[in-house]
Structure 1
Amino acid sequence: MQTFRHGAAVWGVACPQRPSRVAGLSMAGFRVGDLHELRMVPHPSVTLLLEFGAGAPVLDSASGQQRGCVVAGPGLGSGGAVRARGQNVACVQVRLSPVIARAILGASPAELDGAVVPLGDLWGREASRIRERLGDAPSWQDRFALTDALLARRYEAGPPVDPEVARAWHRIVGSRGLTRIDGLAAEVGWSRKRLWSRFRSQLGLPPKHAAKLVRFDHAAHRLAAGESAARVAADTGYADQSHLHRDVRAFTGSTPATVAGEPFLAVDDLAWPGRGATAGP
């Protein structure tokens, strides 16, 4: 486990030694003695938070407080509305490409309706069993292996998304959100109405919003790396710096300067080397 320091906060961060057997799935482990009001910055993946141990992590959102193992669709924290806090927090955080999320969750991300949902609502007793097994595991690598085995089993048994939907998602991610959305339907051989409907119902967000979220994620990480807002706006497809500012405000409720210092982004290079979670299978 490595140590991440951000101001007065000190986190323990663990990474799997081997990649997941499921393409589009990545994970990291966190142990934090005092987690104080961490703003969740939107990310283009479905998020699973598998907590364990004696701590009491809490997610505060517009829909109320959630404790225990939870799941949220792409864009968790939009508008700066979700914050995490707690004492002696220990968890495995999993990022799922929306392309594989339906099979693993047993429900479309669209059914989450933008909310943070207790994992038990989707998995029943399996959610409490994985929590217990994570707590009993002797090491982080054992926890990652347990999590990966469970998610791989669920993925293999679950329904895939339409190939056309997957292709459209990969085009959006591969272009970092800059592909022409109006041309996606023609590329996959569907009508615009059919693609928009299937994309939204299977991945949890419409194509245009998906592209905005992917573009924002790329821009936010460049801001966190210390690049100027003007440079980031010019390089990531925004019309100008004001356009970037509006997008950052919409996604986080704050300014580019504030986002640049967010620990949620600063820890990514340590916890998610390569940040390949949105690539999908």
Structure 2
Amino acid sequence: MAVNGDWAKQSNCAMMARPHPLLDGLISAYIGYDERLKVTRRRVIPTVAPLMLIDFGSVSRHLPGKPTHTISNSPIFGLIETFGAMELTGHDQGVAILFTPPGFLTLLEVTPGDLSNRWAGVHDVLGYQAAELAERLFHAAPWANRFDVLNEFLLDRLTSARYLSDTAVQSWRELERASGRIRIDELADRSGHDRRSLEKLFHRHVGCPPKKAAKILRFREAFRLICDRSRNENLAEIAAAAGYSDQAHLSRDVRELTGVTPGALRRQAAPMRG
């Protein structure tokens, strides 16, 4: 299990689709996945953007070397602040919903911070609707039909949403588009709020302060560049491209979020498959 774009790259994605236009800013993408796995290790990298998996197959997910530390089928992941790994075995088949943080609160009435560095089952959030949705999705093959079911389900939830904030959606979009490379005071000015009000908005709709969200987004951009074996930039150039003040700044953040140096991370860049 990796999350968001990294999750998609490591999984065997049968199909990917954009959500209905009315869900723009709330949902990033839908992904259908279908893969039969022996013991397979996948990385988990820090992210602010939540992920919901609705499983059809009989996959087993657990922490490496700890088969008793299992993750329930059809899990939801929120804010992840640490680098790690997960092992999977079995038939990994289902549908993934890649939320934006404001979309998580709007559509599920849960903030990513509520699931900080942990997971919950879809049934814990959706109740009886979880089983009904999974059954509808399973029988709605092919994938395009399944994505239509997701659109219908989420648009219905949108009509009764209590926490939709256009300001939160737009501010998150600007921060994500800049990969965290924007001053928080400038982001606040663009939103029409003062910094303190923006921080309160982010706590509510994103699950963490804008400074932390920017830090994780900036790290993800640096991680992408570090792991891109087609690129020849040195670490100082990567630091500048990702918006760090210097290489030392990059090294501090990488070590804090992964436990290793950027150089060690580059050497480990190949997808972790056992």
Is this a same-fold pair by TM over 0.5? yes
Task: Give, in whole Å, the separation in 2 of the partners of 1:144 and 1:252.
Answer: 34
Residues 12-39 of structure 1, C-alpha deviations (whole Å, 9 max, x = no match): 32224x5310213202122221151211
Contact 2:75 2:120 survives alignment (8 Å): yes
Q: Report the equivalent of 1:15.
A: 15
- Percent of pairs with identical residues: 25
Contact 1:134 1:146 survives alignment (8 Å): yes
* Structure-to-structure mapping, 1:73-222, within 5 angstroms: 73-74=78-79, 76=80, 78-222=81-225
Q: Report the equivalent of 2:51.
A: 47
Q: Report the equivalent of 2:42.
A: 38
Matched, 1:223 2:226: yes
Structure 2 letter corresponding to 1:15:
M
Contact 1:11 1:33 survives alignment (8 Å): no
Contact 2:45 2:84 survives alignment (8 Å): no
Task: Give, in whole Å, the separation in 2 of the partners of 1:173 and 1:232.
Answer: 18
**CA distance 1:215–1:169, change in 2 (3 Å):** same
Structure 2 letter corresponding to 1:143:
R
Task: Give, in whole Å, the separation in 1 of the partners of 2:268 and 2:222.
Answer: 10
**CA distance 1:82–1:163, change in 2 (3 Å):** same
Larger RCO (CA within 8 A; separation ≥ 6): 1
Matched, 1:235 2:241: yes
Q: Report the equivalent of 1:6.
A: none
Count residues with an aligned counterpart: 250
> 1:84: Cα distance to partner?
4.2
Contact 1:102 1:159 survives alignment (8 Å): no
Q: Which runs of 5+ in 2 are unaligned?
A: 1-9
Task: Give, in whole Å, the separation in 1 of the partners of 2:228 and 2:116.
Answer: 32
Contact 2:60 2:70 survives alignment (8 Å): no
> 1:147: Cα distance to partner?
2.2
Q: Report the equivalent of 2:73.
A: 68
Structure 1 letter corresponding to 2:123:
G
Q: Which runs of 5+ in 1 are unaligned?
A: 1-9, 265-281
Contact 1:229 1:256 survives alignment (8 Å): no
Structure 2 letter corresponding to 1:20:
P
Match of 2:266 among 247, 257, 262: 257
Structure 2 letter corresponding to 1:23:
D
Task: Give, in whole Å, the separation in 2 of the partners of 1:82 and 1:116.
Answer: 14
What TM-score do you get using the length of structure 1 for normalisation?
Answer: 0.78
Task: Give, in whole Å, the separation in 2 of the partners of 1:158 and 1:60.
Answer: 35
DSSP-derived class of the 1:260 partner: coil
Residues 197-217 of structure 1, C-alpha deviations (whole Å, 9 max, x = no match): 221122111100111111122
What TM-score do you get using the length of structure 2 for normalisation?
Answer: 0.79
Task: Give, in whole Å, the separation in 2 of the partners of 1:186 and 1:169.
Answer: 14
